[in-house]
Amino acid sequence: MKKIILFVSLISFISNAQITLDFESAVSTDTHSGASFEIVANPDDNSDNVGKISKNGTDDWSRVVFNLTNYVDFSTSGTKTFTFDYYSDDTHPSIFKLTGSKCGSGDVEVDFTPSGTGWAPVTIDLSTKVEDDKYSAIEIFPSKQQKIVQSYYIDDLIYSDGGQTLTLTATTSFVINVTESCGWGSADHANVSVSNGVAIASNVCGPNNDGNKSDWAQVYFSLPAAGFSSMDLSGADKGFRFKIKGLRESKIMFKLQPGSQWWDNVEVWDLSDGDPNRKKADLHYDNVGSWQTFLVDLSDKTNTNWDRIVFFFDPQTEPNADPSLDVFEIDDIEFGVFSTFSLKENNLTDFTVYPNPATDFVNINSADSIDSYRIHDLTGRVVKKSSPYSNNFRIDVTSLNKGVYMVKLNSGDKTGSIKLVKDN
């Protein structure tokens, strides 16, 4: 019976460009709220494979998310219709939903009611519901608002317009050069705009409407706007590189999350953060007025569902005394294999630090003028810093305790570092 239904569906769309997800190979999915997904043999015909969605009865809103590398593009004219074959033993209303809009139109969802008698065709007509936008994920909520233990099957998901390819593979690498405002957003009283090829974050540490500090003011970028799907961190040594330029120093917190779900995330804090449970990286911006490049190593993560990149400046600190300085530019966001994200092409190489070990003073001689330096102890805490703007200068280290430190130098886009031993 199922094959006859599918034949009719295909005939009805034969004049249009068709896209079919037949679940004959692996797909990129995420599951939430007590749902699970796997590819199995068709329970009525084991000659082909289907997708199996299961609920474990613990939540009303169990769902599976199909992550798309390419957009479902609704900016073209014509009928916007999905069809798929769906197997269910109940008739509880369910939800078909498009998420990950490119330009912030919001999610689009439609209820559908299964036949409850096994395989049956489902048609989702979105011609009057979808904005002129693009979407990067499809979500299915079987038996919404029902805490039940049940399994459902889906096969041959067809989109009848647009000539697109629905490839269910999360993105393994990308480079985002900021060219348009679409995809950028802000929250908790921060602002963001795009000008001259960079994203500009402002009011990132100022007061909210009540005159109090917004601890979590943030700006973010949603990947669908750049034509990418969720990020696949399941491969080896994944990480990020990005550039920041600002009017003052700031600690940065870098975060990944699935869309607006702020509670499901990975957060990477500045080395000086005192919470031992937080992941750390060298995210202290101090090359004031110049671009500074940052690296974030996420090789310990295996998620495939994150599609939003979030930036915080001085989170959980007192409001800045001069809000006009709460402006930072962001550019060149890269995701890929972390081991390839060195700063080698920008490294300072022609400099000397002596004497080392040191007792009272350290001399820095560099072929490049040094804009700023900072000295970290082994916990990552900054114990000394300054902006000499000179090729040759001296640092007084008499106040430092005996031990091992890291000296980090910045000159424009160039960065260099060296271990320093303080000896009494």
Tens of pLDDT, residues 240-266: 999 999 999 899 999 999 887 888 899
Q: Span 205-227, mean pLDDT?
A: 76
Q: Span 137-152, mean pLDDT?
A: 94
Q: What is the pLDDT of residue 380?
A: 67
Q: What is the pLDDT of residue 4?
A: 31
Relative to beta strand 149-159, strand 351-354 is unpaired
Closest to 245 measured CA to CA, from 149, 332, 150: 332
SS3 label, residue 263? coil
Report whether pLDDT(286) > 90: no
The answer to whether residues 18 and 162 touch, using CB atoms and an 8 Å cutoff, is no
Report whether pLDDT(359) > 80: yes
Q: Span 196-208, mean pLDDT?
A: 85
Q: What is the pLDDT of residue 53?
A: 97
Report whether pLDDT(72) > 80: no
Q: What is the pLDDT of residue 383?
A: 87
Report whether pLDDT(166) > 70: no
Domains and CATH numbers, the chain: 2-159 (2.60.120.430), 174-342 (2.60.120.430), 346-422 (2.60.40.3080)
Signed CA dihedral, 99, 103, 104, 105: sign only: negative
Q: What is the pLDDT of residue 118?
A: 92
Give the distance, in angstroms, between the CA of residue 315 and the centroid of all CA atoms in the same chain: 18
Q: Span 179-194, mean pLDDT?
A: 87
CB atoms within 10 A of CB 370: 24
Report whether pLDDT(99) > 70: yes
Q: Span 386-396, mean pLDDT?
A: 92
The answer to whether residues 155 and 137 touch, using CB atoms and an 8 Å cutoff, is no
d(CA 100, CA 66): 11
Q: What is the pLDDT of residue 165?
A: 47
Report whether pLDDT(13) > 60: no
